[in-house]
Amino acid sequence: MGLLKIHNLFKAYRSGEADLRVFSALDLEVARGEMVAITGPSGTGKSTLLHLIAGLDSPTSGSILYKGRSIDSFSERELAEFRNRELGYVWQHHYLLREFTAEENVMMPLLVRGVGRSDASRVAAQGLADTGLADRRGHRVGELSGGEQQRVAIARALAGSPSLLLADEPTGNLDETTSEAVFELLAGLARARQLTSIIATHNPRFARRCDRALELRAGSLRPVTP
């Protein structure tokens, strides 16, 4: 059994007098250490799917199993623990705290977990070194370029040694050259750490570099042919 298994997933939102259906009997199983790309046009539900996997939203019906247990059955405390300890998330926008330094931003999930400040600082410094930002650890967010900010976001996502990495258009706000560098960094770190990874992307080149690429269309996932 994979680390993550989604079965017969339905998701609908109320829109006026009708239900807007996003997913219809969607199935997905992701093996431990596998990197899966989710492609598809804007508005097809890629972000919604990642939100459901992260427990940020609930399905209308169907199941999302993580290590054999339904995410929908988690208590609020268990959901918080899941997001903090098991999950790393890289968004299209970095959502860094501008009043803090790069190192302090990376430390945040560890401090929330209860890790001591000196240990959190050590882990954050190593994470920034791994993303090529060892010399920028004391800089505030506004002093960093867009690519550097996204590298900090990657270091923050990986700081807690998650088992599952979700990336939602992680290069969507970057120019082509910077996008290439950031994707290579993200994919390289995920593979080195044997992270189970799901990456939503519009970029077909990036999708082809994953172990498997699936297209989300009409509420279902279909393999992308080479």
Domain boundaries, the chain: 4-223
The predicted pLDDT at position 86 comes to 96
Q: Per-residue pLDDT for 1 more than 60?
A: no
Tokens of 112: 């929330």
Mean pLDDT on 154-179? 94
Measured distance CA(54)–CA(90) in Å, rounded: 12
The predicted pLDDT at position 24 comes to 87
Measured distance CA(202)–CA(183) in Å, rounded: 12
pLDDT in tens, 31-56: 999 999 999 988 889 999 999 999 99
pLDDT in tens, 186-203: 999 999 999 999 999 999
Measured distance CA(30)–CA(197) in Å, rounded: 8
pLDDT in tens, 65-111: 999 999 999 999 999 999 999 999 999 888 999 999 999 999 999 99
Mean pLDDT on 179-185? 94
pTM here is 0.93
226: pLDDT confidence band, cut at 50, 70 and 90? low
118: pLDDT confidence band, cut at 50, 70 and 90? very high
Assigned superfamily of 4-223: P-loop containing nucleotide triphosphate hydrolases (3.40.50.300)
Measured distance CA(164)–CA(143) in Å, rounded: 30
